[in-house]
Amino acid sequence: MMTDTPDLILWNPIARRRRSPSDDFLDNGLAILKAFLAEQGFEVEVIDWARSNQWDKMTPRLLAVINRFLASRLLSSRDSQSKTGRMVSRLVSPLFILTQDLMSAVQKYFQNKMIRELAEYVRDSGCRVVGIKTWYGETYLAAKYFARLVRKLAPEILIVAGGPHPTTYREAVLEDGVFDLAVAGEGERALEGILSLAGRIQSKDKLLNEISRVAGLSSLKNIIYRQNGKVEVSPPENTDANRKVIPVYDNLEGKTWVHVIVDSLGCPWGRCNFCTHSRTYRKYSVRRPESVVDEIEQMVSRGIGIFRFAGSSTRLSHACRIAELIEQRGIRIFFSMFARVESRAAEQHVYEKLVGSYRQLLRSGFRSVFLGAESGNDTVNELVMNKGVMLKDIVATVKAMREASAIEGLPLDIGISLIYPAPTMGKISLGQLKAENIRLVEQVNPDSVLVSPPAPFPGSSWFNDKDRFGFELGESFVRKMLEYDYVLYKPLFLWPEIDMKLEGLSLRKIFEECGSLRKTLEDKGFVTEVTDVQFLMMRNAGYAGKEGVLTFKNQTQLAILSCDYRWIDSLQARVNLASMAQASINKS
């Protein structure tokens, strides 16, 4: 920790247990804020808890080992059809729930203790402003607990919430009075403005009044603030990916050495009915390929050789320009990204161009990709999703990727995501939608399928036009969503209900339906719920083929269920070695 008084402490909270082996990637967002603010003369201390050793600190080893033993029995009996298997499951289940409850209680104790110590540290640091990166569920609860403590221990410190949550949920983040301010979207210039004012104005009340006044005049953008008892949002900043600075990582301990690189902000399509990314970034802005590749080179010189593009949906022509430069400069890295299904991909000339583009990407180190397919039914894709692509486009895009991979002789893991169940708007039955989703998966034969339940996020068309899409949202919906913990692998009966229905289905029914599609696909031999970043991790750690994916998935599931993270920790160590080795190839 620091010796000088920081102007700002930025904290990244975590949930009590891991959600995924990729939870502790290097946090580019916080590192960008630190680098940008340092350029403006501010001292920033980043306290990033998303580190493997931090989860270990909250988890009693012995209990985790017992948990792992029970979880492995449960998982193997779940897959067994025999009478003995069912009996084992019946005997082990209550024991497992007991050890899980005990684990949660112990973790909560340690988490609260650590948060209390952090609040004391912040109080004693002399800083005037503390910022919290806020995410879903338990992480959000942790952020609120910390904010309450800071309020009590150091009432003059300004508490600012930022990151994905206020970006999505906006005014709702300030509604219960825990945070003083919030920032929606990019935090660089909003924090610069806040820190400049904090340097001039000593009392917190006066500071808050001044920030609200300036935000009210639109001189400070992206600010969520209170004025006259109401929560207001100042106008959004113009999106410009070229203003991004190169992040500074000052502590790599317990992190996975994969650098998430801003290639673009926003989405080139920006019209999907379920999505809010176009609200976060008002327009699609691409970062100059030279800047992207300069940043890649800098990271490589620091020993990082694996990358993930941050774009919500990187435009293919832009990705190709970056790939071309990577090739020209002779840089050897691996990377993954989200890509968009190409409209009219089935037309011969578009298809051929696609194959060429993906060949170029593969040569520059592209190794895994995720595509939003959303559904296998064209009416749903058009009316419900407004994705701008059809079934034949999805099939042809994946085919082009496979062909490119075969021609270059380079591997590519392809994942597609589906939203199921989805609004049907009376056009099709749920059974038919499910069948068509299965047909789509069979046709494209992806390496992984991500099946997500529908969520009407505030700001999306699904939310704004909920009646038309068949959503019933209660008064507490947004509040509950803020704290909702969407954790894969959690047994269905443990999911709390929320005030939401889709075409008459309660949330639990929605999850049940979603799980049933996942199960059908798994029974048919498809891998589900493995993401592009997880492919990057496992392949670099030496897990090859479908066998490797299944080992990775089983081990991850076991580790996450039991909180015995030794396997994930060793995976991280192998990924880090691979990242370093890849980076070092570039030196010779």
Would you tell me which residues interact with ligand B12 (CB under 6 A)? 10, 14, 19-20, 22-23, 25, 27-30, 32-33, 50, 131-133, 135-136, 160, 162-165, 167-168, 183, 186-188, 191, 260, 262, 277, 308, 310, 312, 533
Measured CA distances, 438 to 381, 390, 431 (Å) = 15, 15, 11
Residue 546 and residue 544: Cα distance in Å, rounded? 7
> Whose Cβ is closer to ligand B12: residue 186's or residue 436's?
186
> Whose Cβ is closer to ligand B12: residue 13's or residue 351's?
13
Residue with the CB atom nearest ligand B12 in the bound state: 162
> Whose Cβ is closer to ligand B12: residue 55's or residue 96's?
55
Minimal distance, residue 160 CB to ligand B12, in Å:
5
> Whose Cβ is closer to ligand B12: residue 256's or residue 377's?
256
Minimal distance, residue 113 CB to ligand B12, in Å:
20
Residues 6+ positions from 560 with CB-CB distance below 8 Å: 17, 18, 19, 20, 488, 489, 568
Minimal distance, residue 350 CB to ligand B12, in Å:
26
Minimal distance, residue 348 CB to ligand B12, in Å:
33
Measured CA distances, 564 to 139, 555, 571 (Å) = 20, 10, 13
For the purposes of burial, counting CB atoms within 10 Å of the CB of 236, is it exposed (0-12), middle (13-18) or buried (19 or more)?
middle
Q: Are strands 230-233 and 129-133 parallel, antiparallel or unpaired?
A: unpaired
Minimal distance, residue 10 CB to ligand B12, in Å:
6
> Whose Cβ is closer to ligand B12: residue 44's or residue 394's?
44
Residue 30 and residue 132: Cα distance in Å, rounded? 10
DSSP string covering 315-342? -HHHHHHHHHHHHHTT---EEEEEEPPP
Q: Which two tokens stand for residue 217?
A: 């005049």
Contact 419, 274 (CB under 8 A): yes
Place of tokens 């290097």: 26
The DSSP output letter for 237 is: P
Minimal distance, residue 36 CB to ligand B12, in Å:
8
Minimal distance, residue 98 CB to ligand B12, in Å:
26
Residue 302 and residue 411: Cα distance in Å, rounded? 26
Reduce the DSSP state of residue 243 to 3 states and report it: helix
Minimal distance, residue 576 CB to ligand B12, in Å:
15
Minimal distance, residue 456 CB to ligand B12, in Å:
13
> Whose Cβ is closer to ligand B12: residue 97's or residue 260's?
260
Measured CA distances, 134 to 146, 147, 486 (Å) = 12, 11, 15
Minimal distance, residue 311 CB to ligand B12, in Å:
7
Residue 418 and residue 74: Cα distance in Å, rounded? 28
Minimal distance, residue 344 CB to ligand B12, in Å:
25
What phi and psi values does residue 338 have, to the nearest 5 degrees?
A: -85, 140
Residue 361 and residue 496: Cα distance in Å, rounded? 43
For the purposes of burial, counting CB atoms within 10 Å of the CB of 247, is it exposed (0-12), middle (13-18) or buried (19 or more)?
buried
> Whose Cβ is closer to ligand B12: residue 92's or residue 373's?
373
> Whose Cβ is closer to ligand B12: residue 381's or residue 417's?
417
Contact 286, 315 (CB under 8 A): yes
> Whose Cβ is closer to ligand B12: residue 116's or residue 490's?
490
Contact 455, 410 (CB under 8 A): no
